[in-house]
Amino acid sequence: MKVKVRKAVIPAAGMGVRFLPATKAQPKEMIPIIDKPTIQYVIEEALESGIEDILIISGRGKRAIEDHFDHAPELEAHLAAKGKEAALTAVRRISEMGNIHYVRQRRPLGLGHAVGCARAFVGNEPFAVLLGDDIVRSAVPCLKQMLERHAELGGSMVAIEEVPREEVSKYGVIRGEEVGPQVYRVNDLVEKPPVDQAPSRLAVMGRYLLDPRIFDLIEETEPGAGGEIQLTDALRKLVREQALYGYRFEGQRYDVGYCLGYLKATVDFALEREGVREPFLDYLRRKLL
């Protein structure tokens, strides 16, 4: 009997070194795309996919995330007094988005360790992981796509995307075989392999559906690449015990944790925003002439 995935974990304790100095005093997850913080897009994806409870793994200097999703009585009173009903509705909606919980990763020991901090929250049921600086734009939310296939297949699942050969060393990369449309049975994973040693060009992106067995395997995992406890290393152990699938999702992914990905997301989102698109296009045309 397959169990419904009700909970999601969003690791957001990283120091954001790829986006310094902007992230020196501001969480990278709070950098806005147009007028909405990155992590809000991620949470909206989870909720639109049917997730009921979300745990954010935060860390030192991440209080702004909690404040963003909390009520702001003074701000709400100010907006109400000024008759700014649209802004007031938007602010209140944020604080009522869903059941959001928090726990701190006390030491920056890697993604695997961050996921391990969710053990008490998750309990003994499958759960989702969404990285807090990965945005996926798609007609059907990326996580929902995965949940639909997970309901058919069971096991655990990672989102994958084909990347240029020269970029494989930035990601965890799978070795596997295609077993259905957009689905691969994973036989092994390698974290940030050298270009000439990568088993494929299929890279793991920021969405996971995991069996709770992963927590025991994380505890058994020694520090790996970068001296951190890598989730990929725990997944390699999981593959030896149960099915792990890679799912090639439909949609456009943006890694907004670094400058180029952030700029791409900003431009694409601006070109879809009513009231922004046309003046922004005019500006771009003038700059490119």
- The alpha-helical segments, DSSP class H, found in the chain are 38-48, 63-68, 73-81, 85-95, 111-116, 119-122, 142-153, 213-220, 231-239, 259-270, 277-288
Mean pLDDT throughout 64-84? 92
Residue-wise pLDDT for 111-125, tens only, equals 999 999 999 999 999
Residue 132 has pLDDT above 90, yes or no: no
Q: Reply yes or no on whether the pLDDT at 226 is more than 80.
A: no
Mean pLDDT of the chain: 90
Backbone torsion region of residue 155, taken as left when φ is above 0, otherwise alpha when ψ lies between -120 and 50, otherwise beta: left
**What pLDDT is attached to residue 98?**
83
> Is 2 within 8 Å of 144 (Cβ atoms)?
no
Q: Give the mean model confidence (pLDDT) for residues 59-88.
A: 91
- Residue ranges and CATH numbers for the domains of the chain are 7-257 (3.90.550.10)
Look-up of token digits 């310094």: 20
Average the pLDDT over 82-88 and give the result.
93
- Residue 89 banded pLDDT, cuts 50, 70, 90: very high
pLDDT band at 234 (very low <50, low <70, confident <90, very high): very high
Q: Is residue 81 scored above 60 in pLDDT?
A: yes
Query: What's the per-residue H, E or C state across 225-254?
Result: HHHCCCHHHHHHHHHCCCCEEEEECCCEEE
Mean pLDDT calculated for residue range 48-65: 91
**Mean pLDDT for the stretch of residues 215-239:** 87
Percentage with pLDDT > 90 across the chain? 64
Provide the pairing of β-strand 156-162 with 252-255: unpaired
Q: Is the pLDDT of residue 216 over 80?
A: yes
**SS3 of residue 36 by DSSP:** strand
Query: What does the buried/exposed string (b/e) look like for 131-144 if buried means 16 or more CB atoms within 10 Å of the residue's CB?
Result: bbbbbbbeeebbbb
In single-letter form, the type of residue at position 20 comes to L
> CA-to-CA distance for 32 and 44, rounded, in angstroms?
14
Range 120-126, long-range pairs (CB < 8 A, 24+ positions): 121/7, 121/9, 121/53, 121/55, 122/7, 122/9, 122/55, 122/212, 122/215, 123/212, 124/212, 125/3, 125/5, 125/6, 125/7, 125/212, 126/3, 126/5, 126/150, 126/156, 126/209, 126/210, 126/211, 126/212
Residue 1 scores a pLDDT above 60: no
